[in-house]
Structure 1
Amino acid sequence: MKIIRLEDHNNLIFEKICEWNYNWWGIRDGKSYEEVRCNLEHSLNKDRLPQTYVALIDEEPAGMYQFAMFDDLDTRPDIYPWLINVYVDEKYRGKNVCRKLMNTVNENAKKANLQELYLYTKHVGLYEKFGWKFVEEVKTFKKDSPIERLYRLEIK
Structure 2
Amino acid sequence: MEYEIIRVADRPEIKEQAAQWFHQKWGIPLEAYLESMEDCLAKKSIVPQWYIAFENERIIGGLGVIENDFHDRKDLAPNVCAVYTEEDKRGNGIAGALLNYVCTDMKKKGIDTLYLITDHTSFYERYGWEFLCMVQEDGEAGTTRMYIHRPY
TM range, normalised to the smaller chain?
A: 0.7 to 0.9
Matched, 1:20 2:21: yes
Q: Of the candidates 26, 34, 40, which is equivalent to residue 31 of structure 2?
A: 34
What root-mean-square deviation, in Å, do the aligned CA atoms of Structure 1 and Structure 2 show? 2.3
| Aligned-partner residue type, residue 21 of structure 1 | F
Q: Any residues of structure 2 matched to 1:1-12 within 5 Å, and which?
A: 1-7=3-9, 8-11=11-14
Matched, 1:147 2:130: no
Deviation sequence 1:68-111 (CA, Å, 0-9, x none)? 222211x1112211111111123322332112212223211211
Distance 1:77 1:121, change over 3 A: same
Deviation sequence 1:45-73 (CA, Å, 0-9, x none)? 65621111111222322111122222211
Distance 1:25 1:59, change over 3 A: closer
More helix by share: 2
Matched, 1:128 2:125: yes
CA distance in 1, matches of 2:101, 2:33: 25
Identical-residue share of aligned pairs (%):
30
Matched, 1:80 2:83: no
Q: Decide whether the 8 Å contact of 2:8 with 2:37 is kept in 1.
A: no
CA distance in 2, matches of 1:138, 1:147: 5
What are the ranges of 5 or more consecutive residues in structure 2 without an aligned counterpart? none
Local SS of the residue matching 2:5? strand
Q: Decide whether the 8 Å contact of 2:4 with 2:54 is kept in 1.
A: yes
| Aligned-partner residue type, residue 23 of structure 2 | Y
Task: Count residues in correspondence.
Answer: 148
**C-alpha displacement at 1:24, in angstroms?**
3.2
| Aligned-partner residue type, residue 106 of structure 1 | C
**C-alpha displacement at 1:141, in angstroms?**
5.4
Q: Any residues of structure 2 matched to 1:65-104 within 5 Å, and which?
A: 65-73=63-71, 75-104=72-101
Distance 1:42 1:71, change over 3 A: same
Distance 1:153 1:45, change over 3 A: farther
Q: Decide whether the 8 Å contact of 2:7 with 2:50 is kept in 1.
A: yes
Distance 1:5 1:134, change over 3 A: same
